[in-house]
Structure formats: C-alpha cells, structure tokens
Amino acid sequence: MKKLFIILVLFLGIAVVAISFSELETIMSTLRKAHLIFFIFAIIVQFLWFIATGRMYQSIFHLLGVDESTLTLSRIATAANFINVVAPTAGVGGIALFASEARRRGHPPGKVTVAAALFLLLDQAAFLVILTLGLIVLFRRNDLDASEISASFIMFGIAISYAFILYLGYRSEEKLGSLLAKTARGINRVVKFFRKGEYLSEIRAHEFSHEIAEGFSGLTEKPSSLIRPILWGILDKVLLMCVLIFSFLSFEVPFSAGTIIAGFSIAYLFLIVSPTPSGIGIVEGLMPIALSSLNVSWSEAVLITLTYRTVTFWVPFGIGAWAFRSLHTGGEEPSAI
C-alpha cells in the first residue's frame, strides 16, 4: 500500500508540474472538447491488449510443449505486470509468479520460467521493429536527439543481455549458473555499502540456471517458430498505438501516422529503460515533450499523455491487482498452465 501511495503521488506530481497555471486556461478549453466515447473505446482496446498478450504467451508456451487457455495466461500475465510495478526487479518478479503458478498447477516450473523469460525477449524484439520506424520518422523530421539515441542503445543492450542469458542456459547450465552467481556476488558487494545482509542469493542463481536448462530440454521447434510470438508482440504494440490514437481523438487533436508511431515509440522506449516501474513519472514527463516536438501543442500533449497513461498504466494496474488477488484466493482448480 505504501508503494502504491508513492507511485500515485509521483504520478500526480508530474501532472501538476506539467499542467502549469500559465497553461490552465488552454487546458480547460481543450477539456471542453473532450469526447468520452473515445476514452471508452481506448479502454476497450486495452482489454483487447490483455487478450493479445495472453495469445503471445500461449504461442511461446506451445513451443515448449505447454498448453493453456488464452484467458488464463492473460490473467497471470496481468498479475505479473502488477508484481513488476509494486516490486520492480527487471521483470524477475513476474517470471517468479509464472513459476509459482506452474508449481501450484502441478507443472514443472522450468518450462514456464523459460517461456516467461522468452516473452520478455521477444516482446522487446517486437518493439524494436516499431522503434525502428519511429526513429526513421524522427530522423526525417530532424527531431532525433542524443537522449533518444542513447535510450535506444540501452534498450538494445538489455535485449542482447536477455538473449545471451537464454542462449547460455540453452547451451550450458553450468556456465549460466556460474555467470549468474558471479553477477549476484558483484551486486552484493556494491549493495553491502548501503545495507546489511545478502541482497541476491548465489544459490538461487544456480537454481534459476537449472530451471532455464530444464525448460529448454526437449525443445525441438525451429528458430523460425519464434516469428509467431513476435507477430503477436507487434500486434500488442499496434493496439497500444490505437489507444494513443483514441487519446488524440478524445480531444479533437489532429495527427498523422508518423506522429502516432514516433510518439508511441519514444513513450514506450523510455518506459523500458526507465529506472522507475513501468516508467512512472518518466513517461509522464517526457511524452508531452516528444509530442510537442511533433507539432502538438503543449496543453494538448499533456492531456493526451495523461489519458494514454491512465488507460495503459492505471487500468492494467487495477486489473492486475484483482488478477493477483484472485490467483491466491484458492478458488481456482489447478490445471495445466
């Protein structure tokens, strides 16, 4: 609850700074033109995004020989997103939730751990396709600056790191365990200056490498089979861009395809590389600037950003809290995950 309060205060703080008194009159004028119907459409699209995410997970699980319904995987994925916000650990919390659900449902957690890790990698691969288009738009409009280029390199580095860890786990459990243990040891040495006790467990690092190796065992699918989940990942991003489109339509703000692609690319890019969970505070601060550089007025950019983030952050956050609670009520019968 304390972390939720901090997140909410940070969100509102950014909103207050963005909506300065000098822009208040213009913002109120823009609000008078608001159309609730487009906001409702945006929420509907967001729910379609939940289903598309479940389908992406389902396609990855199928590669590993695990079958489950789209709705079940959508619910677990939504709960995992909630965990990653309230307990940010670079996606590890969400992976742990999938592994926990696998154990509870009587399925070996190794394959599910690999599937959840693959999702993170392939989701970023799908976004790289959209990001490339966004950077091209910014370059053609002479709006590409050093911060966007640097963030792109950071994201690419994150994706390469995920890919290397999974590849190492596929090739050698021992080498992956050794790498993760050394990484944990190094982090513990740094953290020791700020807190007592072990922050990361070296034993857990070896256990994780074993789960990765176990998950890859029996994998016979060709690399080309990864195309389907990447396509689902691209659809995920297209749906989020549709939410952005409805955010523009809500306030009768004109836009072009380039504005949507570039604006979304920058917002999602800084969501990934942000040190805060799901980019809270960072995206709200940078997205209006990005939209303004794309010829959207500041007051309109602020309202579009807050509408977009309400639908893509707070709606999933609320649904995720419900999903996480429902997974632990014990009311659902175990089934294959």
For residue 219, name the pLDDT band (cuts at 50, 70, 90).
low
Tell me which DSSP letter residue 224 carries.
Answer: G
15-37 core/surface letters (b: 16 or more CB in 10 A; e: else): eeebbeeeeeebbeebeeeeeee
Residue with tokens 């909410």, as numbered in its chain: 8
List the one residue out of 127, 61, 63 whose CA is nearest residue 98.
Answer: 61
Whether the predicted pLDDT of 5 surpasses 70? no
Q: How far apart are the first and last CA of the chain?
A: 29
Of 66-70, 75-79, 311-315, 328-332, which gets the smallest average pLDDT?
Answer: 328-332
Of 121-125, 136-140, 160-164, 294-298, which gets the smallest average pLDDT?
Answer: 160-164
Contact (CB, 8 A) for 323 and 79: yes
For residue 201, name the pLDDT band (cuts at 50, 70, 90).
low
CA distances from 71 to 68, 115, 313, 320, 336 (A): 9, 17, 20, 13, 13
Q: Which residues contact 18 (CB under 8 A, 6 or more apart)?
A: 284, 285, 288, 302, 305, 306
CA distances from 55 to 41, 60, 274 (A): 21, 9, 26
Of 59-63, 96-100, 182-186, 245-249, which gets the smallest average pLDDT?
Answer: 182-186
Q: How far apart, in whole angstroms, are the C-alpha atoms of residue 261 and residue 113?
A: 32
Q: Higher confidence at residue 13 or residue 145?
A: 145
Whether the predicted pLDDT of 95 surpasses 70? yes
**What whole-number percentage of the chain has pLDDT above 90?**
31
pLDDT digits (tens, 9 = 90+) for 234-252: 999 999 999 999 999 998 8
Q: Which runs of E-coded beta strand occur in 71-229?
A: none
Q: What is the mean pLDDT of residues 186-215?
A: 68
Q: How far apart, in whole angstroms, are the C-alpha atoms of residue 59 and residue 242?
A: 23
**Looking at residue 166, what is its pLDDT?**
80
List the one residue out of 45, 104, 53, 99 whose CA is nearest residue 75.
Answer: 53
Cβ atoms within 10 Å of 204's Cβ, excluding its own: 12
Q: Note every long-range contact of 75-80, with CB atoms under 8 Å and residues 24 or more positions apart, other chains counting.
A: 75/323, 75/326, 75/327, 76/101, 76/323, 76/327, 76/337, 77/50, 77/53, 78/50, 78/53, 78/316, 78/319, 78/320, 78/323, 79/320, 79/323, 79/324, 79/327, 80/116, 80/320
**Looking at residue 9, what is its pLDDT?**
47
Contact (CB, 8 A) for 243 and 43: no
pLDDT digits (tens, 9 = 90+) for 18-27: 555 445 555 5
**What whole-number percentage of the chain has pLDDT above 70?**
75
pLDDT digits (tens, 9 = 90+) for 72-94: 899 999 998 888 887 666 566 77
Q: Give me the residue spans of the domains in the chain.
A: 46-327
Most distant CA pair in the chain, distance: 63
**Looking at residue 118, what is its pLDDT?**
87
Q: DSSP secondary structure string, 189-209?
A: HHHTTTSSS-SS-HHHHHHHH
